[in-house]
Amino acid sequence: MLSLELRIDRARRFLRMLENDRPFLEARLLPLTADRQKRAKTYAATLMQQTRAEIARMLQEVSAQESIESIPQAAD
C-alpha cells in the first residue's frame, strides 16, 4: 500500500493536471454537441471537486496521525 504522503502527492499532481488541462479540454469539446460538452465539463468539475475533497481528507488523516504520535507514551 502506498504511503499517505505519496497518495497526497499523486492526488495533488492529478488535480494540477486537470486544472492545467481546462483550456485544452474546451478545444477538444468544440466538435461535440452542446449536451455532450456540458456533460464532459460537469464530469471534469466533479472529478476536480472529488479530488480536492480526497486531498483534504488525507491531510486531516496526516494531522490526526501526527497528533497521536505527539502524545507522550508511558515508559516501560
Distance of alpha carbon 76 from alpha carbon 3, whole angstroms: 29
Q: Is the pLDDT of residue 75 over 70?
A: no
Instruction: Give the model confidence (pLDDT) of 18-59 as tens digits.
Output: 999 999 999 999 999 999 999 999 999 999 999 999 999 999
Q: Is the pLDDT of residue 4 over 80?
A: yes
Phi and psi (nearest 5°) for 2?
-75, 145
Distance of alpha carbon 25 from alpha carbon 29, whole angstroms: 6
Distance of alpha carbon 12 from alpha carbon 31, whole angstroms: 30
Going by pLDDT thresholds of 50, 70 and 90, the confidence category of residue 65 is: confident
